[in-house]
Amino acid sequence: MTPYRQWLATALAEARTGLAEGGLPIGAALYTADGTLLGRGRNRRVQDGDPSMHAETAAFRAAGRQRTYRGTTMVTTLSPCWYCSGLVRQFGISRVVIGEARTFHGGHDWLAEHGVEVVLLDDAECAAMMGAFVAEHPGLWHEDIGD
Amino acid sequence: MTPYRQWLATALAEARTGLAEGGLPIGAALYTADGTLLGRGRNRRVQDGDPSMHAETAAFRAAGRQRTYRGTTMVTTLSPCWYCSGLVRQFGISRVVIGEARTFHGGHDWLAEHGVEVVLLDDAECAAMMGAFVAEHPGLWHEDIGD
């Protein structure tokens, strides 16, 4: 059995914490090939007034300086936007595991074209949480993706 | 006369400060269409141990939350990597002014293909500073771009 669902649970826990804080419920985590957690984080736009901290960049930041990202997996509750897709491509993160892409379809096809392994879990809880948030706070969501 | 050289001077000042701090000498600034400075910053990998703070993301962060980036210009001393190019595309930053692309050719052609106005100044001072840094600290440079 792949550990993807277990890793997604880490990202989902971050998303739930973000929601409880009044923020965007998007979480992410960065794992090594052997399943070691390097970093985890959540979108911090509302909490810190920081537009640069998307879930993926927060997890990447939390992992600190790394010599290589070869073999690592970024797991995220939502399809990565261009900003976060660019992060994955630039740093050579090997795999992206995505909770859902129903609410938002970011750059993961582009990542797949450029050799990143993309796993889309289509998780119902991720989709329900994000879908409800976007319905309730459309302005915040559009701000977060620069729409 | 366009203000691009004047805006580049802001980015270059950030890069010089970064170099003096022992960091990667890459600076950036975000300006509105009417020339108001929204944010400025520099690469902070070494200074803060933070791999997520490239010059462009630092300038974007310093600008705080914005409702739209329409009409804004990101000026940077060095061609933006995929991470920073993704930032520009996602948030609809209208223009990128680049000091130099001799040392590193990032994603600016991709940005131009997707409607971002790209201005390459080919500035000798930017190229000399970055070229010298890469020659002296190749490991740090490769770490910064995930090579």
Model confidence over A79-97: pLDDT tens digits? 999 999 999 999 999 999 9
Longest dimension (CA), chain A: 41
Contacts of residue A79 in chain B, CB cutoff 8 Å? none
Query: In the predicted model, is pLDDT for residue B62 greater than 90?
Result: yes
| Residue A138 token pair | 């459309």
Interface list for chain B against chain A, based on CB atoms closer than 8 Å: 45, 49-52, 57-58, 60-61, 63-69, 81-87, 89-92, 107, 143, 145-146
CA distance A29 to chain B (A): 14
**Confidence band, pLDDT 50/70/90 cuts, at residue B111:** very high
Dihedral in degrees, nearest 10, Cα atoms A91, A95, A99, A100:
80
* pLDDT 10s digits, A119-147: 999 999 999 999 999 999 999 999 999 98
The widest CA-to-CA distance across chain B, in whole angstroms, is 41
CB B83 within 8 A of CB B54: yes
DSSP class of A21 = T
Cα torsion angle, B101, B119, B12, A90, sign: negative
Q: How far is A107 from chain B (nearest CA, A)?
A: 9
> pTM value?
0.97
Interface probe for B, chosen from A44, A61, A82 (most Cβ of B below 10 Å), is A82
Interchain CB distance below 8 Å, B143 and A86: no
Q: Which pLDDT belongs to residue B129?
A: 98
User: Strands (DSSP E) along A36-122, which ranges?
Assistant: 37-42, 73-78, 95-100, 117-120
| B56 is known as an active-site residue | yes
* Mean pLDDT along residues B122-134: 98
